[in-house]
C-alpha cells in the first residue's frame, strides 16, 4: 500500500459501522415503536 492509501484508511474515524448488528437495531427500533404506541394510548392522546 502506498502512503496515501494508509492515510485515507486511517482518516475515516467515527460514525456508525457498516457491519453492525442489524437485527438487534431492527428489534430495538420496533420495540421502541410499540412502547411509544402503548404510552400514547394509555395517556389518551389518540
Q: What is the pLDDT of residue 26?
A: 93
Q: What is the pLDDT of residue 43?
A: 92
Phi/psi of residue 43, nearest 5 degrees: -80, -5
Q: What is the pLDDT of residue 45?
A: 84
Convert the pLDDT of each residue in 1-46 to its tens digit: 566 555 555 666 666 666 668 889 999 999 999 999 999 999 998 7
**DSSP code string of 5-40:** HHHHHHH--SS--TTS-HHHHHHHHHHHHHHHHHHH
pTM, full prediction: 0.53
Q: What is the pLDDT of residue 46?
A: 72
**Rounded to an integer, what distance in angstroms lies between the CA atom of residue 12 and that of residue 7?**
9
Amino acid at each position: 500500500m502506498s502512503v496515501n492509501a494508509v492515510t485515507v484508511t486511517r482518516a475515516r474515524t467515527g460514525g456508525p459501522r457498516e457491519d453492525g448488528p442489524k437485527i438487534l437495531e431492527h428489534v430495538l427500533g420496533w420495540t421502541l415503536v410499540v412502547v411509544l404506541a402503548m404510552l400514547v394510548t394509555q395517556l389518551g392522546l389518540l
